[in-house]
Structure 1
Amino acid sequence: MQYIPYNKEQFAWTQWGPKEIRKAYENSIAHKEKVYAAIKLVPDFDRTFQNTIAALERASYVESPQMHYVELLLEVSPRSDVRKAAKETLDEYSQKIVDIEYDEDLYHAVLACARKNEPLEGADKKLLEDALRAYRRMGFGLSTEDREELKDIIKQISKLSLEFSKNINDWQGYILVTREELEGLPESYITGLQKDNTGKYKITLQYPDSVPFIKNAESEQKRKELQTKLLQKGGAVNLDILGSLLRLRRMQARLLGYKNHVAYQAKPRTAKTAEHIEAFLTDLAKNVSPLAARDITVMCDLKRTSTGNPDAVLEYHDLSYYLNESEKQTCNVDHEKLRVYFPLEKVLDGMFAIYAKLFSVSFQKITDYPVWHDGVELYAIKNTEGEIIAYFFLDLYPRENKYGHAMAFPIVQGRLLEEGYLPPVSAMVANFPKPTSDTPTLLSHPELTTLFHEFGHIMHGTLTQAPYASQSGTSVARDFVEAPSQMFEHWMWDTESLRLVSEHYKTKEPLPDSDLKNLIKAKKHMIGYQTMRQIIFATFDYQIHTEEEGTPDAISTYNTLVKTYLRVQTPEGNLFPAGFGHLIGYSGGYYGYLWSEVYACDMFTRFAAEGLLNPETGGSYRLWILEKGSSMDELEEVRGFLGREPSNRAFLQEIGLDTIKPE
């Protein structure tokens, strides 16, 4: 396959200002309207797959990447005027694109093409099926009145979703602590903190500040203060937005004939029905509950022992701290002390070596192309012939108003064009600790696992060979999209792989065997609690999206689940749902994190049997899973890779339920 070369000018969007953003929007809309007009002019008797369905697909090939540029700049640009322009443009785009897509003549053009019964197979057949399904889910086939109502609902949902996410990203806050109140934190963490004008240290709500503090600070009072602020993210305005979104999503589902929003979301995914999701979560909660209860008891006992108070109560702000303390005592693993063995440069070199061997590619850093911030790096991926097949950005350090978690963003989706294959472009955005003048970025093992997870998304997005952009890379069912990246987390629990990504940042000595063994032994430490935490998030998302009437009390729903399954009281006045950003992207689909873990664990069994660095197994995985995207049914891809029907046996073993009969 021949790949289309890029040049430096094609990355100029990283430097866009408000004027360029506006121009890109206007050009994208004009191009799409022009292509759509041409499609509608084709007489029905002349309609073919190429001049109708494929033409509809190609109509987005200017607009889609342009808007992906704008979406990314909204999340990562250091310039407030760029973020403001991006937000305003996306608001306008989200409304305009609905008007463009709600075109009766285009719908009839697709129907006319389908009635021709042109023999199609593979990706072409699926593209037609996807187009017909998309129009059905837009309400074509409903009365004109109902369709107009649905169109208005979709516009409102899009606008409110953008506002909800922006409110989380823009939320700022911190607590002040003295040097004594930093007891339990390593010196490398403390030296990276900012101070106020009184000399006190600032602990911000950003991940590199807040997570280590919550896990390690001995001061319960300060952990509680920080946790309280974290649970206010998004603010009361996001609770109001969420209430509106939940009502609108319910209305959308019912107009289309579904009982609730989860049923609407599940239909095109691997779960298929809300009943399957409910049964999955209910059974899992029932079986995991004894393990979670055991873990909670251990943490509570540890608190009582460490405080000398036999009546001490385990509270919400204690969970991460005593989980960490228990791991130190039980497994002899201190993640903060182990950071010195995971300098980012060594980690990246080792990670690239692993993926290079598995997938027969190489990675080249590009230094003379524009990026949106001087801390961002651009890489090219090359095949064995030295041909560039994809690009990806790494934006790994926190900044004010930057996206606050870790995520892989698709920017340009791969697709087959007349002149060759267009290389995909992705970006990995994270918030790892910044290097200091005398210490490089040092990762904890959980951060290392996050890196491998997100880079799994990058590989899924960039090694695609799907013929159509809408089917390429991570454009798969939402309850499958996490599976490829979750599978890659397993490499960070393997001795050989860990050796490839570790060395002491000063002495270059390897991670000691004793620490390596202890780390791997800790993999299933408190797996009951950690799995139950995900069950709670998924069940919370499910329940608020299946309420039949009124506005669900999201706070009460979350509080009740935590109390029921963890026996812990959530802080009074918490606004957890306001800051739970997954309610936008997953929208009734958070169950997918656990659901896709079933496939991830199952697919890993082949690597476990044949070798984690076996290039033949990696080549098969690339062929069946990474290259195909959604150009074929996702479960058919899994069957193709495994050579058998999928099973939940490996998943049950992974979460400590070895005695449960697998399906």
Structure 2
Amino acid sequence: MKFLYCLPLITIVLACQPTAESPENLISNPFLIPLNEPIDYAKTTAEDLEEYTLLTLSEAAKDIESIKAVESPSFDNVFAAMDAANNKMTKASNNCFMLYWVSPDSLTRVTGLSGYKKIDSLFTVIYSDKGLFNQMLSFSNSIDYENLEDYKKNLVDDIIDGLRRSGVNLDEDQLIEYKRLTQKINDLTSRYSNNMNTSNELLELDEAGAEGLPENFKETYSFGEGKYQVPVINATNGPVMKNASLEATRKAYYVKFNNRAADKNLDILDTLVQKRYELAQLMGHDTYAEYNLTPKMAKNPETVWEFINDLVEKTTEKAKMDLALLDKARAKDVSQPNAVLDPWDVSYYKNELLKTEYNVDSEKIREYLSMDDCLEGMFTLYQNLLGLEFRKVENGSVWYEEVEMYEVFEEGHLKGRFYLDLFPRPNKESWFYGVPLVDGRLMKDGYEVPISMLLGNFTRPTETLPSLLSHGELSTLFHEFGHIVDGMSYGGDFAIQANSKSDFSEAMSQIFENWIWDYETLSTFAMHYKTGEVLPKELFDNMVRAKNITSGLSAINSLRRCIYDLNLYDLYDPNSKIPTDDIWKKIDKELGLMDAFVDGTHPQSSWIHINTHPVYMYGYLWSDVYAQDMFSVFEENGLQDQATGMRYRKLILANGTQRDVVEAVEEFLGRPSNNEAYMRGLGLE
């Protein structure tokens, strides 16, 4: 295989793949469309996807060879051309992976995954191409580089850094090993995700076992008189764990939920962690976390550990108070003064306290939050605040009949497009995501508008009930749609700069969760699905009073996952491997709050982040500090103030990596950022 790396890139691609048909013969392929025309997803086939993938591979390889052949490297013929080739590959890769996640057709899913892997392999080849790298270095050492506008200079620096991080400076044998490891890691992550999404666990209950579950929920999962089959998925987790009166039901569900795909994924995770460690070592880093964090805001593991440990210190006392409150509720319920609170009890007794002490019933609140009303209210907020217009495309061509398609406009001009795929179905990815499909970019014949998809797994409607959301699920909806408008807001010249630093990207979604805690906003769409009654102000005020009832414990639970993530990827020792179950026990002992790990369960076997987003969990808290600080500007100026919203959109959402994110945030705030608003939000002023 060594000789391949000396051959031209186009030779490598064409030697490894069946010959792609010429564009003339692919004119009917629904993926090959004019600028800003929507893909006819309803007519796409696995064969179309494969042809599209092969054509993309061939064209992108030719593009890179052309860049390498230029005699006088310039910004336009190297870096702008690189952005164009990268954009072409990214669009195909995104479509392949999206259809692998959501297509109801098994052959399309298989083809999508295969296509994604092929394109990813070409990315690996390109980003470790020494000829391409030399062209880039040649330009970066020129006077023309020094005279570039800042955002173009940032693009040059980021692309060159990307190549360095992808092994371009390795020798031939090391480069072969780099490519072998990245291929192995990609295979492992795909297998892990597939196992997780196809686990299909069910909990069968009789009437006694279903005691306490909402009648609407029971109706949805009834399969005979007094019998229920509850799928163990994200959409059912909250309703069961918060409401099942019988402890045996909560425990049975908890064990099943935290054992999804454990028979296959525990071994995969062990190998995945090891291979990522080997990759980091090959790249000259002590740990995978060190390698992974280099391009992020945090920069290094020491900064992340300091951030996490500081939050642990600040939230532990509140968490102890929260646990004492829950222990007391459980002891009273079971009439045992020394009763031990188990992990499957936490959500239930928190919900009991909400109902008995604060008069807040999450299932009653759900009746005021139908999906259709929530979407309408959410769209209205985002449109008014950000100066955008969303138009539903009737009879839009989509990959599944429930999926909805929208176009985004600003002052009559097409700004973007998004799809909503909101409900679970067999073999669909089981988490919640704002998924980018196309990043905005200036093209020769116009501006290519961004396209995104909101992938959700909310409770689906039935013949007698609309989809009803909990307030927490409404927060998830607002959060994920925040990713959508982030994508729609970008209008920069280059697609590579469309997305922000990954440990800041959640901030631009988290900030919008705050509006569902504003009665003026919530009351515009929170109406009872039967009567049309607006959510009572008294009930909302009770919700606000109870907002931080277990804020310390919730923070610690998030930090516990951050610490686990870092244990896997920063503390891994190949000579003294710790079983991944034992890491949970180690962390619980260090935190000193409760034994949250349950023997016989393996939550790490169905946790998407440690699989496809390693060293990412801290980013949710890191981002949230920025999110709450930026929200304080809206609190000062008015939550419906469009001038502030437009300024936020232009400075933050539209930025990507065109300018330093800290500078952009400080300009929006008018001062350096701090964590005061975040701590207030936890009730820890």
Residue 467 of structure 1 is matched in structure 2 by 493
Residue 408 of structure 1 is matched in structure 2 by 434
Residue 189 of structure 2 is matched in structure 1 by 161
Tell me if structure 1 keeps the 8 A contact 2:89–2:119: no
Matched, 1:128 2:156: yes
> Which one-letter code corresponds to 1:274 in the other structure?
P
| 1:605-616 to 2 correspondences below 5 Å | 605-616=632-643
Tell me if structure 1 keeps the 8 A contact 2:36–2:449: no
Hey, what's the Cα distance between the residues in 1 that align with 2:385 and 2:102? 31
The partner residue of 2:288 within 241, 258, 261 is 261
Secondary structure in 2 matching 1:214: helix
Tell me if structure 2 keeps the 8 A contact 1:563–1:569: no
Hey, what's the Cα distance between the residues in 2 that align with 1:300 and 1:563? 19
Hey, what's the Cα distance between the residues in 1 that align with 2:42 and 2:338? 57
Hey, what's the Cα distance between the residues in 2 that align with 1:546 and 1:614? 43
Secondary structure in 1 matching 2:143: coil
Secondary structure in 1 matching 2:58: helix
Hey, what's the Cα distance between the residues in 1 that align with 2:504 and 2:612? 14
Residue 483 of structure 1 is matched in structure 2 by 507
Hey, what's the Cα distance between the residues in 2 that align with 1:199 and 1:182? 9
Hey, what's the Cα distance between the residues in 2 that align with 1:563 and 1:165? 30
Hey, what's the Cα distance between the residues in 2 that align with 1:283 and 1:383? 43
Residue 207 of structure 1 is matched in structure 2 by 234
Q: Aligned-pair distance for 1:9? A: 6.0
Q: Aligned-pair distance for 1:548? A: 4.7
1:45-69 Cα shifts (integer Å, max 9, x gaps): x110100111111112322112211
Residue 320 of structure 1 is matched in structure 2 by 347
Q: Aligned-pair distance for 1:379? A: 0.8
Residue 15 of structure 2 is matched in structure 1 by none
Residue 395 of structure 1 is matched in structure 2 by 421
Secondary structure in 2 matching 1:348: helix
Residue 417 of structure 1 is matched in structure 2 by 443
The partner residue of 1:26 within 24, 48, 54 is 54
Tell me if structure 2 keeps the 8 A contact 1:57–1:470: yes
Q: Aligned-pair distance for 1:441? A: 1.4
The partner residue of 2:459 within 423, 430, 433 is 433
Secondary structure in 1 matching 2:466: coil
RMSD: 1.8
| 1:285-434 to 2 correspondences below 5 Å | 285-384=312-411, 386-434=412-460
> Which one-letter code corresponds to 2:445 in the other structure?
E
Hey, what's the Cα distance between the residues in 1 that align with 2:42 and 2:484? 19
| TM-score, structure 2 normalization | 0.92
Q: Aligned-pair distance for 1:570? A: 2.1
> Which one-letter code corresponds to 2:142 in the other structure?
K
Secondary structure in 2 matching 1:317: helix
Hey, what's the Cα distance between the residues in 1 that align with 2:454 and 2:306? 34
Tell me if structure 1 keeps the 8 A contact 2:500–2:655: no
Secondary structure in 2 matching 1:19: helix
The partner residue of 1:89 within 110, 115, 129 is 115
Tell me if structure 2 keeps the 8 A contact 1:541–1:583: yes
1:560-604 Cα shifts (integer Å, max 9, x gaps): 323543312522121111111101332112110111111001000
Residue 546 of structure 2 is matched in structure 1 by 522
Residue 504 of structure 1 is matched in structure 2 by 528
Q: Aligned-pair distance for 1:312? A: 1.9
Hey, what's the Cα distance between the residues in 2 that align with 1:272 and 1:87? 31
Residue range with higher mean Cα deviation, 609-618 or 267-276: 267-276
Secondary structure in 2 matching 1:545: helix
Residue 212 of structure 2 is matched in structure 1 by 184
Q: Which runs of 5+ in 2 are unaligned?
A: 1-32
1:149-202 Cα shifts (integer Å, max 9, x gaps): 222222222221222222111111111001232221221111111427x86210
Tell me if structure 1 keeps the 8 A contact 2:50–2:115: yes
1:289-340 Cα shifts (integer Å, max 9, x gaps): 1111111121111111111222321111111111221222232211111111
Hey, what's the Cα distance between the residues in 1 that align with 2:241 and 2:392? 35
Hey, what's the Cα distance between the residues in 2 that align with 1:104 and 1:200? 64
Residue 450 of structure 1 is matched in structure 2 by 476
Query: Percent identity over the alignment?
Result: 32
> Which one-letter code corresponds to 1:404 in the other structure?
S
Secondary structure in 2 matching 1:426: strand
Matched, 1:544 2:568: yes
| TM-score, structure 1 normalization | 0.95
State the 4+ residue runs in structure 1 displaced beyond 4 angstroms: 5-9
Hey, what's the Cα distance between the residues in 2 that align with 1:244 and 1:338? 44
Residue 172 of structure 1 is matched in structure 2 by 200
Tell me if structure 1 keeps the 8 A contact 2:370–2:466: yes
Hey, what's the Cα distance between the residues in 2 that align with 1:238 and 1:121? 47
Secondary structure in 1 matching 2:396: coil
1:25-47 Cα shifts (integer Å, max 9, x gaps): 1011001111011111111xx11
Tell me if structure 2 keeps the 8 A contact 1:314–1:568: no
Tell me if structure 2 keeps the 8 A contact 1:91–1:162: no
Tell me if structure 2 keeps the 8 A contact 1:175–1:204: yes
Change (3 A) 1:527 1:552: same
> Which one-letter code corresponds to 2:99 in the other structure?
L
Q: Aligned-pair distance for 1:342? A: 1.2
Q: Aligned-pair distance for 1:143? A: 3.0
Residue 113 of structure 1 is matched in structure 2 by 139
Change (3 A) 1:562 1:476: same
Change (3 A) 1:207 1:589: closer
Tell me if structure 2 keeps the 8 A contact 1:74–1:86: yes
Matched, 1:571 2:598: yes
Secondary structure in 2 matching 1:10: coil
Tell me if structure 2 keeps the 8 A contact 1:563–1:570: no
Q: Aligned-pair distance for 1:372? A: 0.8
Tell me if structure 2 keeps the 8 A contact 1:315–1:570: no
Q: Aligned-pair distance for 1:347? A: 1.2
Tell me if structure 2 keeps the 8 A contact 1:204–1:210: no
Hey, what's the Cα distance between the residues in 2 that align with 1:96 and 1:470? 17
Residue 65 of structure 1 is matched in structure 2 by 91
> Which one-letter code corresponds to 2:156 in the other structure?
L
1:385-443 Cα shifts (integer Å, max 9, x gaps): x2221111111111111111211100011111122221111000111112222221111
Secondary structure in 2 matching 1:181: coil
Residue 629 of structure 1 is matched in structure 2 by 656
Tell me if structure 1 keeps the 8 A contact 2:431–2:456: yes
Residue 146 of structure 1 is matched in structure 2 by 174
Hey, what's the Cα distance between the residues in 1 that align with 2:396 and 2:100? 20
> Which one-letter code corresponds to 1:496 in the other structure?
E
Change (3 A) 1:90 1:14: farther
- Bigger relative contact order, structure 1 or 2, given CA contacts below 8 A and separation 6+? 1
> Which one-letter code corresponds to 1:526 in the other structure?
T
Hey, what's the Cα distance between the residues in 1 that align with 2:572 and 2:605? 21
Q: Aligned-pair distance for 1:369? A: 2.0
Hey, what's the Cα distance between the residues in 2 that align with 1:652 and 1:286? 12
1:329-361 Cα shifts (integer Å, max 9, x gaps): 232211111111111221111111111111111
Residue 17 of structure 2 is matched in structure 1 by none
Matched, 1:603 2:630: yes
Secondary structure in 2 matching 1:59: helix
Tell me if structure 1 keeps the 8 A contact 2:389–2:408: yes
Hey, what's the Cα distance between the residues in 2 that align with 1:16 and 1:555? 43
Residue 661 of structure 1 is matched in structure 2 by none
Hey, what's the Cα distance between the residues in 2 that align with 1:425 and 1:339? 31
> Which one-letter code corresponds to 1:105 in the other structure?
G
> Which one-letter code corresponds to 1:349 in the other structure?
E
